[in-house]
Structure 1
Amino acid sequence: MKNYKYIGLFLLSLGLVSCDVNNELDEIEAEIVEEVLLSTNGLDFSKYVSIGASFTSGYSDGALFIAAQENSFPNILAGKFGTDFTQPLMNDNVGGMVFGASVVLEPRLYFNGAGPARLAATPTTQVTDVISGPFNNMGVPGAKSFHLGVPGYGTLNPYFGRMASSPTATVLGDALAQSPTFFTLSEIGGNDVLGYATSGGSGVDQTGNFDPSTYGGNDITDPNVFAQVFSGMAIALTANGAKGVVANVPYVTSLAYFTTVPHNPVPLDAATAAFVNGAYAAYNGGVQQAFGALVGYGLMTQEQADAEVAQRTISFAAGQNAVVIVDEDLTDLGAINPAFAAIPQYRQATANDLIVLTAASFIGTLADPNNPVTVNGVGVPLANQWVLTAKEQAKVKTATDAYNNTIEAIANANPNLALVDFKGVLQEASTGIQFDQYVMNTSLVFGGLISLDGVHLTARGYALMANKILAAMDAEFGSNFTMATGGLAKAKDYVTNFSPMLP
Structure 2
Amino acid sequence: MKKIIISTIAVSALLFTVSCNTDFDTDVKDIPVTKGDADFSKYISLGNSLTSGYRDGALYSSGQNESYPSMIAAQMKLAGGGDFKQPLMPNDIGGFNNLPGFPGKLTLQVVNGSLAPVPSGAAAALDVLSGGGTYNNMGVPGAKSFHLVAPGYGSQAGLATGTANPYFVRFASSATTSVLADAMTQKATFFSLWIGNNDVLSYATNGGTNSQTVGGVTTYSIATVQSGNTNPTTYKSNDISDPALVAGSIKAVLDGLKSVGTTKGVIANIPSVTSVPFFTTVPYNPLTPELLGSNLTTLNTSLYGPLKQALTAFGAGDRINLLSATGPNPVLIKDVALTDLSAQLTAALTPSLGLPTATAFGQIFGQARQATADDYILLTTSSVIGSTAPMVPSPVNIYGISYPLQNQHVLTKTEAGYVKTATNAYNASIKGLADSYGLAFVDANAKMLELNSQSGIVFDGVKYTATFVRGGAFSLDGVHLTGRGYGVVANEFIKSINAKYKSTLPQVDPNKYSGVKFP
Query: Structure 1 length as normaliser, TM-score?
Result: 0.83
The alignment status of 1:497 with 2:492, answered yes or no, reads no
Q: Deviations over 1:431-472 (max 9, x none)?
A: 211223211000111101111110001101111111111100
The alignment status of 1:54 with 2:49, answered yes or no, reads yes
Amino acid at match of 1:86: K
CA positional deviation for 1:227: 1.3
Q: Quick one: distance in 2 between partners of 1:262 and 1:422?
A: 25
SS of equivalent residue, structure 2 residue 328: strand
SS of equivalent residue, structure 2 residue 514: coil
CA positional deviation for 1:106: 1.0
Q: How does 1:32-431 map to 2 (within 5 A)?
A: 36-82=31-77, 83-99=82-98, 104-112=101-109, 114-118=114-118, 120-124=120-124, 126-127=125-126, 129-133=128-132, 134-154=134-154, 155=158, 156-186=164-194, 188-202=195-209, 203-239=223-259, 240-268=261-289, 269=292, 271-280=294-303, 281-289=305-313, 291=314, 305=315, 308-310=316-318, 312-318=319-325, 319-333=327-341, 342=362, 344-368=366-390, 371=394, 374-415=397-438, 417-431=439-453
Q: Quick one: distance in 2 between partners of 1:119 and 1:225?
A: 34
SS of equivalent residue, structure 1 residue 97: coil
Contact 2:31/2:504 (<8 A) preserved: no
1:475 alignment counterpart: 499
Where does structure 1 differ by over 4 angstroms across 4 or more consecutive aligned residues?
119-122, 334-341, 368-373
C-alpha spacing 1:335/1:191, structure 2 compared with 1 (3 Å) = farther
Q: Quick one: distance in 2 between partners of 1:349 and 1:38?
A: 53
Amino acid at match of 1:152: G
C-alpha spacing 1:277/1:52, structure 2 compared with 1 (3 Å) = same
CA positional deviation for 1:397: 0.6
Q: Deviations over 1:126-166 (max 9, x none)?
A: 22534433211100000000111111112321111111111
Contact 2:207/2:408 (<8 A) preserved: yes
C-alpha spacing 1:228/1:120, structure 2 compared with 1 (3 Å) = closer
CA positional deviation for 1:337: 12
Gaps of 5+ in 1: 1-32, 292-304, 482-486
Contact 1:56/1:73 (<8 A) preserved: yes
CA positional deviation for 1:34: 9.7
Q: Quick one: distance in 2 between partners of 1:362 and 1:34?
A: 48
CA positional deviation for 1:273: 1.3
Q: Quick one: distance in 2 between partners of 1:334 and 1:345?
A: 7
Q: Quick one: distance in 2 between partners of 1:108 and 1:360?
A: 19
SS of equivalent residue, structure 2 residue 288: strand
The one of 420, 427, 442 equivalent to 2:466 is 442
Select the structure of larger CA radius of gyration.
Answer: 1
Q: Deviations over 1:34-56 (max 9, x none)?
A: 95311111421121110000000
C-alpha spacing 1:452/1:34, structure 2 compared with 1 (3 Å) = closer
CA positional deviation for 1:179: 0.8
Q: Quick one: distance in 2 between partners of 1:87 and 1:243?
A: 21
Contact 1:111/1:445 (<8 A) preserved: no
- Percent identical pairs in the alignment equals 42
Contact 2:109/2:116 (<8 A) preserved: yes
Contact 1:226/1:403 (<8 A) preserved: yes
Q: Deviations over 1:86-123 (max 9, x none)?
A: 11111111121111xx7641111123364342355541
Aligned-residue Cα RMSD (Å) equals 2.4
Amino acid at match of 1:497: V
Contact 1:115/1:445 (<8 A) preserved: no
CA positional deviation for 1:242: 2.8
1:16 alignment counterpart: none
Contact 1:323/1:378 (<8 A) preserved: yes
Number of aligned positions between the proteins: 441
Q: Quick one: distance in 1 between partners of 2:483 and 2:69?
A: 12
Q: Quick one: distance in 2 between partners of 1:228 and 1:120?
A: 38
Q: Deviations over 1:16-45 (max 9, x none)?
A: xxxxxxxxxxxxxxxxx9953111114211
Contact 2:333/2:404 (<8 A) preserved: yes
Structure 1 stretch 78-87 or stretch 361-370: which is displaced more? 361-370
CA positional deviation for 1:285: 3.4
Gaps of 5+ in 2: 1-27, 159-163, 210-222, 349-358
Amino acid at match of 2:232: P
Q: Quick one: distance in 1 between partners of 2:463 and 2:285?
A: 28
Query: Structure 2 length as normaliser, TM-score?
Result: 0.80
Q: Quick one: distance in 1 between partners of 2:75 and 2:268?
A: 19
Amino acid at match of 1:365: S
